[in-house]
Structure 1
Amino acid sequence: MIGITWDLMSWINCNFFSFLKSNSRSLNLSYISFSRKKKMFISLWEFFYGHFFRFWMKWLLRQMTGKCELQRIFDTYVGAQRTHRIENSLTYSKNKVLQKATLVVQSEVDKCVEDIMKEKNINPEKDASFKICMKACLLQISGYKQLYLDVESVRKRPYDSDNLQHEKLLLKLWNLLMPTKKLKARISKQWADIGFQGDDPKTDFRGMGILGLINLVYFSENYTSEAHQILSRSNHPKLGYSYAIVGINLTEMAYSLLKSEALKFHLYNFVPGIPTMEHFHQFYCYLVYEFDKFWFEEKPESIMYFNMYREKFHEKIKGLLLDCNVSLTLKI
């Protein structure tokens, strides 16, 4: 019964939107776009659900089970579904302690769990698993927020040719991808061999900063044979593409998915604890490997259609990420 409210909400959403589409004219709503109608309904539903329906549903289920909503979620769900529903329950709660729990930093998770148990009158002797489960969920929730901040911090750091560490990292990328070919000069047309646009790669990192380079190096270092294979395929006479430029573009895709919270199901399933930069890099590697397969399966007429196929791939990934059981890992 714990899923009743969420299932009902989904059912109402689907059926109400279908009704609006087919009856807009008779309802004199034709002047309003469908997307706007959808937003209007969602706002209306969230208002009634949050202020009236949810309270009585929770009260009824508590009388029937003797457990609060958080306990019922722990009893019913595992993985990303559990963490996602706990996060929603805390977010929609009228209790300030529970609301603030979604914003807790990792160092204060233990205290936050104690505060929640106190607010909900949960006896640790009667429900010994609650503390463990709640801590795990809060670490994932707070960890996701911290991961975004960490990724954003690196993304905002521009590539600096006067920074020795940045220059070493760039040279490392060349050596990983072209181990038998020496780079003749720092400013060189040779950079085109690994898919950069100009003689100086630093200009290609402007959008994603040093994050774009770090991801390229991570894939080349941890999946060297795959990187060599994909670089070779990228030089195909008809289906070729700029390896490094596409890699930086896929860093932007990974970043935007993280920022929009589309990676929550994946990371909540993939990482039982706190997600880190390592897990972000791993997801990037998945995108690089899968995009190359996708590109050659689709067989675009030319590189001029890159944006269209890039968006098609993006939509495919977003669709996969909607599955609450998703875990997108590179399997070779």
Structure 2
Amino acid sequence: MLGYIWQYVYTSFLRYWLKWLIRHATGTCELQRICSGYKPGATRTTKAEYSLQSSKNKVLREALETRKDNLEQCVDQIMREKDIKPQKNPQFKENLHICLLQITGYSSLFISVEDMRKEVFNSENPEHEAMLLKLWDLLMPTVTLESRITKQWGDIGFQGDDPKTDFRGMGMLGLINLVFFSENYTKEARQVLSHANHPKLGYSYAIVGINLTEMAYSLMKSGALKPHFYNTVLGTPELRHFHQLYCYLAYEFDKFWVEEEPESIMHFNQYREKFHNIVKTHLQDPAVSLVLKTNMDK
């Protein structure tokens, strides 16, 4: 309770006067100090985001919702509002612009991810069907699929004879993640599939993959992935960056599962939650970068 009271007092009163005192002592506003005092990445962008959110100035608050093509004009407006002279602060404009690209880009990326999640897999859509068959060819290049509806789908971890029913929760996002991993990290994806098909330590490759898509989606929706994207993308994050994060989760979960040696797949939820907590702990590190590193990278 005391913590909430202190937070209210600080944000409502003390923070304003503290900023006022420091500005008069240093001759610089909070945004200037943030943009010059921290290197590019999560710490700088997170602090800039908080500063803009907490500002009593409407121009600064609305900057967080500015479209990408208006960001440069938005930064100029902020500089006028805060009386920041370009000649005295030559790097400020560029640094703030990058922060805003990251902040607004994260919101835009989530909208794209959400749209993809809402897109239902349609077996009558040739593009959807082609992507599903591509997944099979990438993972099982030496095995011919006997028919579109077949028990063979179980060999790559789907539950039934027709995979379309497994995409209900995550829509096309789940399939696109699976294909992206298999296409861009083919060797690693096939390695993970071989572990998933282990007679004792195995798990349903595709179903677990879709479950990991849900994990990535939930982390993004909550804002937990901001530090990762702010550290790894110096600008506007795109869908491929989300898919690359998924690849990290798919590869690392497999390593985690093999190392933990669960008694059976019946304990999946327990180990899934443990892995989820490990990821969330990583995301609390300001320097976090959840990038897939294979043996070839080391």
The CA deviation at 1:147 is 0.3
Map of 1:223 onto structure 2: 185
Map of 2:121 onto structure 1: 159
- Distance in 2 (CA, whole Å) between partners of 1:318 and 1:130 is 32
Map of 2:10 onto structure 1: 49
- 1:270-316 deviation digits (Å, cap 9, x = unpaired): 00011000100000000000000000111111100000000000000
SS at match of 1:128: coil
- 1:150-193 deviation digits (Å, cap 9, x = unpaired): 00000000100110100000000000001000001101000000
The CA deviation at 1:330 is 0.6
Map of 1:93 onto structure 2: 55
Q: Which amino acid aligns with 1:325?
A: A
Map of 1:170 onto structure 2: 132
Unpaired runs of 5+ residues, structure 1, are 1-39
- Distance in 1 (CA, whole Å) between partners of 2:2 and 2:234 is 35
Map of 2:220 onto structure 1: 258
Return structure 1 stretches of 4+ with deviation > 3 angstroms.
Answer: 40-43
Match of 2:33 among 69, 72, 75: 72
Map of 2:159 onto structure 1: 197
Match of 1:84 among 46, 54, 57: 46
Which deviates further from its counterpart, 101-110 or 169-178? 101-110
Superposed CA RMSD in Å reads 0.9
Which deviates further from its counterpart, 137-146 or 43-52? 43-52
Match of 1:208 among 166, 170, 183: 170
Map of 1:58 onto structure 2: 19
- Distance in 2 (CA, whole Å) between partners of 1:46 and 1:156 is 38
Normalization by structure 1: what TM-score? Answer: 0.87
Which deviates further from its counterpart, 54-63 or 42-51? 42-51
Q: Which amino acid aligns with 1:131?
A: K
Match of 2:231 among 266, 269, 280: 269
- Percentage of matched positions with identical amino acids: 62
- Distance in 1 (CA, whole Å) between partners of 2:12 and 2:274 is 39
Q: Which amino acid aligns with 2:71?
A: V
Q: Which amino acid aligns with 1:120?
A: K
- Distance in 2 (CA, whole Å) between partners of 1:66 and 1:300 is 59
The CA deviation at 1:93 is 0.5
Kindly indicate whether residue 50 of structure 2 is the aligned counterpart of residue 125 of structure 1: no
Map of 1:280 onto structure 2: 242
Higher RCO structure (Cα 8 Å, ≥6 apart): 2
Map of 2:206 onto structure 1: 244
Match of 1:322 among 269, 272, 284: 284
